[in-house]
């Protein structure tokens, strides 16, 4: 009798102990982390709500960095805009979409930079996959990229609109069109626009953000200068607006619109390797010049 009771008591205690361990584990697991413990701050908070944590890690894990000829060179991150379920703007011919052209451009730019070997180079996507702006920005931060170039093609209701535009990061848009364009690009891939972004993360790094904006504008100015001879630019080609990807990447960067695929002449130029070549060369030259000047500072 007593033996049986003891056995039951032991079993009961074991169950209680197991429950206690499970309760403690649950408590530890669900305890909120303090601001200092969470290096990714707002991003990880948002990722938890949206269930993106795993996807972010995967996206970063997939990124290949091509080494430079000399060690210790800065990393240039090329971001082919759109992709996967987000086709971007349609071409006027109906033959091509923005996401295809941005990828082609990005590969060509990567290859030129890799061959010259003055910088390390990586791409946010190397195939036709869906990536949110958050994921693209997270890749830039986690790689420790020195510079981000997000590639896009423009589209406008006016079929005569032509030429390339370089956008840099700013709190205030340069003009109404830039503001509208930024709003459209910021909606790409379901960007997360939480209030926490502006109220906590960015107020804390006000000075860093100002530096980032200055470097972004400097790169855009250089691009326009270098590109002036190699490609058709829009009137007032350097514009600025509050682009999520540029801001959240926390590295100097520009959003480069290679031309209007809503214009038949621009599209015809952009879909041929010969038409893209001078644009790619100009981009590569501006990137290398900007980084070598920054390294010399
Ligand atoms: Zn775009």
Q: What is the DSSP letter of 191?
A: -
Of residues 245 and 12, the one with the higher pLDDT is 245
CA of 186 to the centre of ligand 1 (A): 9
CA of 241 to the centre of ligand 1 (A): 14
CA of 245 to the centre of ligand 1 (A): 12
Distance CA(8)–CA(179), nearest Å, equals: 72
Q: pLDDT for 38-64, tens place per residue? A: 333 333 323 333 333 334 555 566 799
Confidence of residue 171 (pLDDT cuts 50, 70, 90): confident
Which DSSP string do the residues of 14-77 spell out, in sequence order?
A: HHHHHHHHHHHHHHHHHSPPPGGG-TTHHHHHHHHHHT-HHHHHHHHHT--EE--SSTTPPEEE
pLDDT average, residue stretch 213-219: 91
pLDDT(34) > 70: no
Query: What 3-state class would DSSP assign to 1?
Result: coil
Of residues 235 and 120, the one with the higher pLDDT is 120
Residues whose beta carbons lie less than 5 angstroms from ion ligand 1: 81, 88, 152
CA of 81 to the centre of ligand 1 (A): 6
10 phi/psi in degrees, rounded to 5: -60, -45
Listed in sequence order, the residues at least 6 apart from 108 whose beta carbon sits closer than 8 Å to its beta carbon are 273, 276, 277, 280
What per-residue confidence (pLDDT) applies to 17?
A: 56
CA of 13 to the centre of ligand 1 (A): 63
CA of 139 to the centre of ligand 1 (A): 18
Q: pLDDT for 249-288, tens place per residue? A: 999 999 999 999 999 999 999 999 999 999 999 999 999 9
Contact 279, 153 (CB under 8 A): no
CA of 213 to the centre of ligand 1 (A): 20
Listed in sequence order, the residues at least 6 apart from 280 whose beta carbon sits closer than 8 Å to its beta carbon are 105, 108, 109, 112
CA of 153 to the centre of ligand 1 (A): 6
What per-residue confidence (pLDDT) applies to 27?
A: 42
Confidence of residue 181 (pLDDT cuts 50, 70, 90): confident
Contact 248, 285 (CB under 8 A): no
């Amino acid at each position: 009798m007593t033996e049986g009771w003891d056995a039951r008591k032991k079993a009961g205690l074991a169950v209680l102990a197991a429950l206690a361990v499970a309760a403690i584990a649950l408590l530890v697991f669900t305890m909120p982390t303090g601001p200092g413990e969470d290096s990714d701050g707002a991003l990880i908070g948002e990722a938890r709500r949206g269930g993106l944590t795993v996807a972010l890690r995967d996206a970063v894990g997939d990124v290949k960095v091509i080494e430079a000829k000399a060690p210790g060179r800065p990393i240039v991150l090329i971001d082919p805009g759109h992709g996967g379920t987000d086709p971007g703007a349609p071409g006027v011919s109906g033959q091509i979409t923005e996401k295809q052209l941005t990828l082609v451009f990005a590969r060509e730019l990567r290859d030129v930079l890799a061959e010259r070997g003055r910088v390390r180079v990586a791409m946010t996507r190397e195939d036709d996959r869906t990536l949110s702006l958050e994921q693209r920005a997270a890749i830039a931060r986690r790689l420790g990229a020195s510079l981000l170039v997000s590639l896009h093609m423009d589209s406008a209701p006016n079929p005569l609109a032509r030429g390339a535009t370089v956008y840099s990061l700013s709190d205030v848009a340069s003009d109404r069109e830039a503001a509208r364009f930024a709003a459209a690009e910021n909606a790409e891939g379901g960007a997360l626009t939480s209030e926490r972004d502006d109220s906590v993360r960015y107020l804390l790094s006000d000075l860093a953000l100002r530096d980032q904006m200055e470097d972004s504008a400097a790169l855009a100015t250089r691009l326009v200068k270098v590109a002036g001879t190699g490609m058709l630019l829009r009137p007032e080609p350097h514009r600025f607006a509050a682009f999520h990807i540029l801001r959240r990447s926390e590295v100097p960067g520009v959003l480069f619109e290679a031309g209007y695929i809503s214009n038949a002449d621009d599209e015809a130029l952009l879909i041929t390797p010969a038409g893209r070549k001078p644009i790619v060369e100009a981009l590569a030259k501006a990137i290398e010049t900007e980084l070598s000047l920054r390294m010399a500072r």
